[in-house]
A and B are shown apart, each in its own frame.
Chain A
Amino acid sequence: MKIFKTLERYMEKPDAEYIASGHRACQGCAEVLALRLAFKVLGKDTILAMATGCMEIISTPLPLTCWRLPWIHIAFENTAAVASGIESAIRILTQKGKLENKKINIVGIAGDGGTSDIGFQALSGALERGHRLIYICLDNEAYMNTGIQRSSSTPYGAFTTTSPPGKKSIGQSTWKKDMPKIAAAHNIPYVATACPSYPYDLFNKVKKAKEVNGPAYLHILSVCPTGWRIPSEMAIEYGRLAVRSGVFPLYEVENGVYRITFKPESLIPVKDYIKGQGRFRHLTDKEISEIQDRVNKDWERLTKLCEITKA
């Protein structure tokens, strides 16, 4: 297999699957795809702490589990706290000689609600204390697990059941919280945004996060066909459109140095990204141009950040 040869640069066993088939994700779920690809790179020496959310309920309905890795369920609030506890315990046990000395990846996983709303203070604490863990935020831009409620990561103008559009409402009335930059503000060694539509970029970033000595934060945009109201086969394409239109730029912050990892020659109009999605279908041209202005400004700011922080 040609592709396995290529993938050997990123992972030991490209054909190993750490998420078994038979999980109950919706058709075309890019979130479980993101996890599948990320864990291919992380490999078998990995411990997972996962907050409540889509990925938890689809992977472990009680008598069954789709994980082939040690996995612990935790409440929304304390993903990062439990992950840092696991890390400290392993460090101490290794020091005392009770555990074999080898590199174990500790991964905390939560959705956008579990990261930017509810689990925020635990995450901030863990990043500040500098535990050697990888925190993955799977951003599908609302609480999809309970039936599409708004989170602070929902983009401006989007329909959710708790931000319904109408005569007096545009839908979600605030801008998306910029979690990766907040994580970068903790001065941790590695922060990156990724998207499963760009798998090699994702592999690179997970690999870097794995090798970093200290906390690493990965923010993965995972398209949700159910909640975004798009056909299931378009999940990968919409991830690509989000990146190419500049709505979700792919960048990494290594020790404070910003670098855009995928730079489209010119950004496509945001309208191309918005128009096919059912959650944005009430937006008028004027509102879309407002969003376009904001996206342009954010993109400019990011490119400037890259220039300023370059050594």
Chain B
Amino acid sequence: MAKPMEKYTWRDLNVGCVIDEPGSSLEYKTGDWRNLLPVTDYSKCTKCGLCWLFCPDNAMKPKDDGFFGPDLDYCKGCGICAQECKFAAIQMVEDKK
């Protein structure tokens, strides 16, 4: 499915423009919208999960060790996680890409 919209001809689209692949927006990486990057200080983190709960892009992902970390492919850098963290464990820093 991964080609830009202008490369599609009418033959490539389903009848009625039905999209038959659920969740295909994963191909569109919104991470390059980001100016700021959330950085977690894991010594302050209590694994409460508020950053995961409030992330509009579900980019804060649970990790195997019980902590939460941003998925940089999709994090748009809105800063909600840093604002809502009750322990000030998340700081927004400039993302030098």
Contact = CB atoms under 8 A, between A and B. Distances in A.
Interface of A: 1-4, 15, 17, 19-25, 27-30, 32-33, 36-37, 59-69, 196, 199, 225, 231-237
A25 B33 CA distance: 11
A65 B23 contact: yes
Interface of B: 1, 3, 5, 8, 13, 17, 19, 21-30, 33, 47-50, 52-59, 62, 66, 71, 73-74, 76-80, 82-84, 92
B22 A65 contact: yes
A66 B82 contact: no
Nearest to B17: A62
Contacts of B71: 21
B56 A25 contact: yes
Contacts of A29: 56, 78
A235 B76 CA distance: 14
B interface majority secondary structure? loop
Contacts of A37: 53
A23 B59 CA distance: 11
16 contacts: A2-B49, A22-B25, A22-B74, A23-B30, A24-B28, A28-B78, A28-B80, A33-B54, A33-B55, A61-B5, A63-B1, A64-B28, A65-B22, A65-B23, A69-B22, A236-B84
A20 B25 contact: yes
Given A30-B56, A63-B8, 16 more contacts: A22-B26, A22-B30, A23-B57, A28-B56, A28-B78, A29-B78, A33-B54, A63-B13, A64-B24, A66-B24, A67-B23, A199-B53, A233-B82, A233-B83, A235-B78, A235-B80
A19 to B, nearest CB: 7
B27 A64 contact: yes
B83 A27 contact: no
B30 A21 contact: yes
A232 to B, nearest CB: 4
A237 B54 CA distance: 11
